[in-house]
Amino acid sequence: AQSVAQPEDQVNVAEGNPLTVKCTYSVSGNPYLFWYVQYPNRGLQFLLKYITGDNLVKGSYGFEAEFNKSQTSFHLKKPSALVSDSALYFCAVRDGTYKYIFGTGTRLKVLA
């Protein structure tokens, strides 16, 4: 069965430091992977996706993610965190149909 795991409920990082939010997946076939961000009292916003091609995907707001097939991971990264990056981040995988499976979410807290 398709699944997505976000092993960290919360990640704390100091402003200006690099950040990583982890995601691992389990799918049959080629994975279509996504990251979304949810700010308080808002819907989810698309950050980036991996469909095929270059393993390093660049997205909105300076975020990027690295697809690693051997480790079945799709970690979200940013070289220098901002306080305004503090939000809830969801990893998702498309299950081969039109359905998406979402991870449990990781709350990112960037400390000034």
Compute the least distance from the CB of residue 82 to other proteins, in Å: 22
Nearer to other proteins, 51 or 83 (CB): 51
Compute the least distance from the CB of residue 112 to other proteins, in Å: 25
Compute the least distance from the CB of residue 96 to other proteins, in Å: 12
Footprint of other proteins on this chain (CB under 8 A)? 32, 34, 36, 41-46, 49, 51, 90, 92, 94, 98-100, 102-105
The pair phi, psi for residue 91, each rounded to 5°, is -95, 145
Q: Beta strands of the chain (E only): which ranges?
A: 3-5, 10-14, 19-21, 24-26, 32-38, 44-50, 56-58, 64-68, 73-78, 87-94, 100-102, 106-111
